[in-house]
Structure 1
Amino acid sequence: MVTMVGNEPSIEKLVTDLIYLEHDAIAAYESCIERLDSKEFSAQIATFREDHLQHLQVLNEMARELGVEAPTGGDMKQMLTTGKIALADIMGDAAILRAMKTNEDDTVSAYERASRHEDAIPASKAFFMKAHQDEERHRAWMSTTADTLS
């Protein structure tokens, strides 16, 4: 799935869409944690989920400051992000991590674009850049770890 998040015309819409994306990501992480056979991998994924929870907290504060009603759950993409994990479960941990990596591709792209949004103030841009780095780190771990299992 290729996300268009980060291309919104206003900062308000961008923050709203990032909140949806984070809710979707958190649901995928929870599904992943439940399905991984390796407790070590589950523990690492749980630390990444904490990053997403922290991102969501910051985004909710941004929404409040912008006067935007923050979504309280994911959108229709959540079925795709969690569905990939459920299907990958049949093939084992490597497949689950590869499915998660594809979800991370979307968050990496979204935060990269968000960091360049013309309406973002310096503090917002700094947060978007930090979140982008977090997502890059998550994606790299998932890719490298999945490759070691193949």
Structure 2
Amino acid sequence: MVTMVGNEGNIEKLVKDLLYLEHDAIAAYDSCIERLDDKTLSAKIAEFKQDHLQHVVVLNEMARELGIEAPTEGDMKQMLTTGKIALADLMGDAAILKAMKTNEDDTVTAYERASRHEDAIPQSKAFFLKAHQDEERHRAWMETTAKAM
């Protein structure tokens, strides 16, 4: 799935869409943790999920400061992110991690774009850059680990 998040015309819509994306990611992480056979892998995924939960905290604060209502759950894309994990479960842990990696591709792209958004103030840009680095780290681990299996 290719995301359009990060291309919004204003910061309010960007923050809202990033929150939807994060809630979708958290749902995918929950599905992944539940389905992985290797509990060491599940523990690492749970660690990464904490980064996403922290991103939600910061984005909720941004939404409050911007005076917008923060989404509290994902959108329709959640079915796609969790559905990929469910299908991959039929083929084992490596396939699950590969499916998760494709979800991370979207968050990496979204935060990369967000860090360059013209309406973002320096503090927001700093958060977007940090979140981008988190997502790149998650994606790299998933890709490397899946290939090693």
Aligned to 2:71: 71
1:137 aligns with 2:141: no
Aligned to 2:41: 41
Q: Which runs of 5+ in 1 are unaligned?
A: none
How far off is 1:64 after superposition?
Answer: 0.2
Tell me how far apart the structure 2 counterparts of residues 10 and 80 of structure 1 sit (CA, whole Å). 26
Tell me how far apart the structure 2 counterparts of residues 42 and 73 of structure 1 sit (CA, whole Å). 22
Instruction: Show CA shifts across 1:108-148 (max 9, x none).
Output: 00000000000000000000000000000000000000000
How far off is 1:47 after superposition?
Answer: 0.3
How far off is 1:26 after superposition?
Answer: 0.1
Task: Provide the alpha-carbon RMSD of the alignment.
Answer: 0.2
Aligned to 2:5: 5
1:98 aligns with 2:98: yes
Tell me how far apart the structure 2 counterparts of residues 83 and 60 of structure 1 sit (CA, whole Å). 26
How far off is 1:79 after superposition?
Answer: 0.1
Tell me how far apart the structure 2 counterparts of residues 82 and 130 of structure 1 sit (CA, whole Å). 25
Tell me how far apart the structure 2 counterparts of residues 147 and 108 of structure 1 sit (CA, whole Å). 20
Instruction: Show CA shifts across 1:42-99 (max 9, x none).
Output: 0000000000000000000000000010001000000000000000000000000000
Tell me how far apart the structure 1 counterparts of residues 50 and 72 of structure 2 sit (CA, whole Å). 17
Aligned to 1:18: 18
- SS across alignment from 1:2: coil
Tell me how far apart the structure 2 counterparts of residues 2 and 57 of structure 1 sit (CA, whole Å). 25
Task: Count residues with an aligned counterpart.
Answer: 149
Please give the residue correspondences for 1:123-134 in structure 2 after superposition, counting only pairs within 5 Å. Answer: 123-134=123-134
Tell me how far apart the structure 1 counterparts of residues 45 and 72 of structure 2 sit (CA, whole Å). 22
Tell me how far apart the structure 1 counterparts of residues 78 and 60 of structure 2 sit (CA, whole Å). 19
Output the TM-score relative to the length of structure 1: 0.99
- Aligned partner letter, 1:129: L
Tell me how far apart the structure 1 counterparts of residues 131 and 21 of structure 2 sit (CA, whole Å). 12
Aligned to 1:147: 147
Tell me how far apart the structure 1 counterparts of residues 68 and 21 of structure 2 sit (CA, whole Å). 16
- Aligned partner letter, 2:141: W
- Aligned partner letter, 1:128: F
- SS across alignment from 2:57: helix
